[in-house]
Structure 1
Amino acid sequence: MSSSDTGGGGGGQGDPAAGSSGVGDRTGSSLSADNIDVPNTFDEAMAGPYADRWLEAAQDELASQLANQTWELVPLPPGRRALSCRWVFALKRNSDGSISRFKARLVAKGFQQKPGVDYEELFAPTTRYASLRAMAAVAADQNLSLHQLDVKTAFLNGELEEELYMQQPPGFNLDEPHLVCRLRRSIYGLKQAPRCWYLKLVEQLGSLGYEPSAADAALFVRRTGDYTIRLLCHVDDLIVAAPEQHVSDAKAAIGDCFEIRDLGPARHYLGLEIMQCPRDGTVSLSQPGYIQKLLDRHSLQNAKPRTTPLPAGARLLPATDTDTLLDDPSSYRALVGELNYLATSTRPDIAQALSGLARHMHRPTKVHMQLALGVLRYLCGTRSFGLRFGGGSAADNIYGYCDSDWAGDPQTRRSTTGYAFILNGAAISWSSQLQRTVAASSVEAEYQAASAAVREALWLRKLAPELGLVLRPTAISLDSQGALSLAQNPITSSRSKHIDVLHHLVRERVRLGDVRLSYCSTEAMVADVLTKPLGEIKFRRCRLALGVVALERPS
């Protein structure tokens, strides 16, 4: 199979590593993603000004597929059909936003697959952000190095069990055009490809002594006599946490199993910027580049910053007949989705605001849009903020806070549950969510919040031994004496007997010693920031307690 005559230059197979090199224009200056349009088709790529770069990337992809024996050319058997395929192009960026390489993927059109015929089981786990944050907290405490690996053409390592056929790649001269590709490995786009890759990963890492965690199947742990190596996987992106002197050996062993790209110390993972500072024993997670892109997109680069995400006491009311609805609600939905990415990854300080704004996606008004843009103005003044783990904080155990805002939703009168769990100085898990049922009293609302917090604590307790933490009863603070009594004592009365059995999980786990509930004053309740808009003074206090602080960038 040879490349077609495309006028973009670069005939022949080319160097397979060419697509991985740094990128600059013909005068040697770097390119920015802003002045390059990513093509949608192979023909469009070959007609553009960077045809030679896209062709190199496509040739690199084909070289990887041939090296992995992903498919072989065969006649299509009678009664079978061949899936269509297409090229997908992308730009890989460095942490500063500059382009590191042009990337091409040959992707099967998996939407043409039929269940029960072309695939069976599809489930493949990916890691939780909480696992990444917990590993960062432990790395700061145990002085571990975080390094990043990228598995090249990861899905091509998975082995297919089904008999599948695919058309030949578009844009290349075919020596035998009547033949089709008999797929041997899980090419990108197949519905079962993620599962095939995960099973292969488990198999290969198992041969090296790694075992998947019971709490997070994407976390792999290898224990030796005097040290432990942890590996966190999100599809083809891997983070290795190990003592500095053992990192190279760990990466070399993984490199013997897969073709990897060693990215060195972890700096950018799943859109998060990672800063490791061995000098003061801290590891920080933040997203300043992402925030800057949002500000640029909405022309708020120089906006006057707000001091809190929402005004104190703000009530997000549903649209009425007299309110002005947005002409294009998709703009509001897109903004809320973009902000929610921050709220679930590194910015618990805006989680409550996004929980409220997300309840009005179906009929957003101009007021809702102004409040959402107000969150963006708050981020304008705190774009350098992020989670900082370590720096002298106690790291021997996980502790949490839970709170509720009784009947705070004006439309349904349901309460909001807020909880946060802290490890080594910053939050590793948090939630701000409307409760499923209406609470008849503030005690019941607080008890439901405690139930949600206990369930999260039980998961964190499963994760703790994998991270090398001593397993003690998980301390959770509440600011309701009534809910505390209900959890610790077998109280049954006309006011409490209707509480759903599910929520008595709290009482059972307190009795078993898995969690330890204690009272704290409302002024000291950190989870208050996750249940309602606060004034500036208390908001700042809660934000600091969650470990969200201004981070100094390396010069």
Structure 2
Amino acid sequence: MQDELSQFQKFHVWDLVDLPKGVQPIGTRWVFKCKTDDRNVVVKNKARLVVQGFYQQEGLNYTEVYAPVARIEAIRLFLAYATYVGFKVYQLDVKSAFLYGKVHEEVYVTQPPGFEDPHNINKVYKLDKALYGLQQAPRAWYETLSKHLLSNGFDHGQIDSTLFIRKAGGDILLVQVYIDDIIFGSTNELLFREFEKDILSKYKMNDSSTYGTPIPVNHGLHHEKDGKDVDCRLYRGMIGSLMYLTSSRPECSRKSTSGGCQFLGDRLVSWQCKKQSTVSVSTCEVEYISAASGCSQILWIQQQLSDYGLNFTGTPLLIDNNATMSITNNLVKHSKTKHIEIRHHFIRDCAEKHLIELVKVHTDDNLADLFTKAFDRSRFEHLVNLIGMFNPE
């Protein structure tokens, strides 16, 4: 607890002041956590002082709280690009990140329980920096980090505000931010060494410890020779019963499921499996809606890669349904599709602008089926092998 309060003093988080008239201070509380290793042995006792943010009033204690967070697909795309280009990826975890965020509103909090000043018992703390639990804390942290990077030669991604790019000649430095976790890499080692030094010095982490592997080498996991095997037939029976129910009762299966996956080269970066929001009257309509969903994901990936300096058009969209390809490529035909919601027809515009190219794929090689259908072992293993997964054994 004392270490936590020492951090507040170090970063000038607050000032002890008299409470203005008519202002209600926000309460604080301690949150305790025992950090354990993979063997469940306590390695550190941690205390964090948090603000009871649920007492805050919008317009009075805060205005805007939104803070961008990186999509998981964006992180996969980052890693896929890193392996494609061949540069190393590094990770930073900023300790007590929210304490760096500047608070613009006037926010008053009570003194920490157990650490009240006996000579100023009626005084409160006025926040200059954000505390955990404060509604605007994530936004304040992001604003601080963003301003620092932008002032040091970085640019925002065009559609992803959590991606920062710095270009120097023919080299590029990429930084992806997920709250207080940062991954970065560059085609030039000098660029990311410079970035690492800059970030560590700004956030006073020059003496921080490093890890060579994600988990300890002696993680303690081993095969339990005397253990009892789990009966997998129960789980398979439950899933089989649900599949039989949905296929034999028409009222349970009125909506189809869209499935798809996207690759950067031969690297799988995103995949989807979602029940469609509309009731379809034909297989063609189901496939058409699925194709439109896959097209929207392709457009996002194209725009994301443009920040990396890669521009793609004519991206192949693999479909195994001839009617869907005919509807997409023929803009004046198929009057029977006029009941399909207009929002799904944007795929036609994308095909006309050559942003995508519809390619016929044989049903046996349709990878989207892996996310929507059940197969026998041989077909399942074939599709799993096609998406690049492998069994390490």
Work out which of the residue numbers 77, 84, 93 in structure 2 matches 1:141.
84
SS of aligned partner of 1:513: coil
Say if 1:474 and 1:516, in contact at 8 Å, map to a contact too.
yes
Q: Decide whether aligned partners of structure 1 residues 100 and 71 sit closer, same or farther in structure 2, where only a CA change above 3 A counts.
A: same
Aligned-partner residue type, residue 146 of structure 1: V
Q: Where do residues 108-123 of structure 1 align in structure 2 (5 Å cutoff)?
A: 108-123=51-66
| 1:59 positional shift | 2.2
What is the aligned partner in structure 2 of residue 214 from structure 1? 158
Which whole-Å CA distance do the structure 2 matches of 1:178 and 1:415 have between them?
63
User: Helix, strand or coil for the counterpart of 1:160?
Assistant: coil
Task: Determine the structure 1 residue equivalent to 2:170.
Answer: 226
Question: Does the aligned pair in 1 maintain the 2:16–2:126 contact within 8 Å?
Answer: yes
Paired amino acid for 1:259: K
Structure 1: runs of 5 or more not aligned: 1-57, 274-288, 320-355, 357-405
What secondary structure, in the 3-state scheme, does the structure 2 residue paired with 1:148 have?
Answer: strand
Query: Which of 513, 527, 536 in structure 1 is aligned with 2:354?
Result: 513
From the superposition, tell whether residues 310 and 146 of structure 1 become closer, same or farther in structure 2 (CA, over 3 Å): farther
TM-score by length of 2: 0.88
Distance (whole Å) between structure 1 residues aligned to residue 85 and residue 41 of structure 2: 33
Residue type of the alignment partner of 2:363: T
Q: Could you tell me how far 1:494 is from its partner in structure 2?
A: 4.0
CA positional deviation for 1:160: 1.1
User: Does the CA-based 8 Å contact 1:407-1:438 persist in structure 2?
Assistant: no
1:538 matches 2:379:
yes
Letter in 2 for 1:191: Q
Q: Does 1:201 align with 2:145?
A: yes
Q: Which residue of 1 aligns with 2:272?
A: 431
Cα separation, partners in 2 of 1:102 and 1:245, compared to 1, 3 Å: farther
Change in CA separation of 1:146 and 1:482 when aligned onto 2, cut-off 3 Å: same
Unaligned runs of 5+ in 2: none
What do you get for the CA RMSD once the two structures are aligned? 3.0
Matched, 1:64 2:7: yes
Matched to 2:230, the amino acid is A
Q: Identity across aligned pairs (percent)?
A: 30
Shift of 1:424: 4.2
Equivalent of 2:230 in 303, 322, 330: 303
Quote the Cα distance in structure 1 between the aligned partners of 2:314 and 2:211.
Answer: 34
Cα distance in structure 2, aligned partners of 1:509 and 1:408: 38
Matched, 1:242 2:242: no
Q: Could you tell me how far apart the structure 2 residues matched to 1:136 and 1:94 are?
A: 27
Is the contact between residue 327 and residue 334 of structure 2 (CA under 8 Å) also seen in structure 1? no
Contact map agreement 1:122 1:191 (CA 8 A) in 2: yes
CA distance in 1, matches of 2:274, 2:209: 37
- Alignment of structure 1 residues 152-301 onto 2, 5 Å: 152-172=95-115, 174-175=117-118, 176-243=120-187, 245-246=189-190, 247-260=192-205, 264=210, 268=214
Aligned positions, number = 381
User: Contact 1:417 / 1:434 at 8 angstroms: preserved in 2?
Assistant: yes
Query: How has the CA–CA distance of structure 1 residues 184 and 410 changed in structure 2, closer, same or farther, with 3 Å as cutoff?
Result: same
Q: Counterpart in 2 of 1:316?
A: 242
**Partner Cα separation in structure 1 for residue 198 and residue 33 of structure 2:** 29
Q: Which residue of 1 aligns with 2:29?
A: 86
TM-score (norm 1): 0.63
- Describe the superposition over 1:153-198 as per-residue Cα deviations: whole angstroms up to 9, x where unpaired: 1111111111111011112252422211111111111111111111
Q: Distance in 2 between matches of 1:104 and 1:445?
A: 53
Alpha-carbon offset, residue 214 of structure 1: 2.1
2:327: which partner in 1?
486
Instruction: Classify 1:211/1:97 alpha carbon distance in 2 versus 1 (closer, same or farther; 3 Å).
Output: farther
1:212–1:221 contact (8 Å) kept in structure 2 = yes
CA contact (8 A) 2:302 2:311 kept: no
Partner of 1:549: 390
Which amino acid is 2:318 matched to? S
The amino acid of 1:436's aligned partner reads: S
Q: CA deviation at 1:82?
A: 0.9
- Give the match's secondary structure for 1:161: coil
- Are the aligned partners of 1:147 and 1:266 in contact in 2 as well (CA < 8 Å)? no
Q: In 2 relative to 1, CA 94–223 (structure 1 residues): closer, same or farther, beyond 3 Å? A: farther
Say whether 1:418 aligns with 2:259. yes
